[in-house]
Amino acid sequence: MSSYKINYEQLRQQPEIMEMLSALERGFEKFGIDFYLVGAVARDVWMSGINKIAPRRTTGDIDFAVLINDKGLYEQLKEYLVKEENFQPTRENAFVLIKDNTEVDLFPFGAIEDEDRKVTVQGTGYTTVHVPGFKEVYEANLPQIELGGSHTFKFSTLPGIVLLKLLAWDDRPESRRDDIKDISDILNHFFDMYDNEIWENHHDLFEKEADLKLIAAKVMGREMKKIAVRNEKLYSRIKGILNTNTDYMPNSKMAAIMTGYFGNTIEDNVLLLQQLKQGFTE
């Protein structure tokens, strides 16, 4: 397991979140719940924290995937955090708690999922969430971060982040365009963040391609495949998303969104996505 040490400033977070993280950790420890960091803050760990690359987009939300094998345990965790740690529930979303003006999303996965990879919990507003890929990312040898010298927890790999964001966008493309922008940000800098691994284990790609960004996209596809093949339905779904966005250029909604990040053409982005797909399907 890889391990990294970073501070709050590197992560672009204020030290005031220390108490919130401590409260969460007390809850997770009390109920024996394993967890890992996902979403934009996990992206920030890799980009600004470890590689000193400023992401284009900032977020105030912190997302955790929490391993739950008993539905009642998730309700107990939330009840504890509200009653004992002064988190505030929200009426709009049963998976969101707020503490010290910070929104924390707790996505349950594990045996609590139904056959469609959905979890439904008690509460008001948004009470059902799709969590495909969370279990597979969790099982893929997660790295560990020590934050501010006082908090240690696991966080998603870069291929895991891209995989989860791709699925989240596909679930709600009308409201999740930022996920594609985050994927674009990662692909744009992936070679620099992953160069040692690429040179050591993917040197075959340099024989046919000179564009480092295209090489990196194919490597991303290969690394995503290692996660997705753990579940046949997950692999097929990711493959289908990539096929839909590369088979007929004018219909690539993903490539169209990416133009807003790169300032290029749909054709340029379809080429990048084709490399991602080739790595994923080879």
* Per-residue pLDDT tens over the stretch 26-48: 999 999 999 999 998 899 999 99
Look at residue 100 in the predicted model and tell me its pLDDT.
Answer: 86
| Cβ atoms 188, 261 nearer than 8 A | yes
Whole-model pTM: value is 0.94
List C-alpha distances in Å: 248 to 24, 40, 274, 276. 46, 30, 11, 16
User: Which position has the token pair 């969790």?
Assistant: 138
> pLDDT value at position 43?
93
Task: Please say if the pLDDT value at position 15 is more than 70.
Answer: no
Could you tell me if residue 64 is left (phi over 0), alpha (psi between -120 and 50 degrees) or otherwise beta?
beta
Q: What percent of the chain has pLDDT over 90?
A: 78
User: What are the pLDDT digits (tens) for 71-95?
Assistant: 899 999 999 999 999 999 999 999 9
Per DSSP, 157 falls in state -
Mean predicted lDDT score pLDDT of the chain: 93
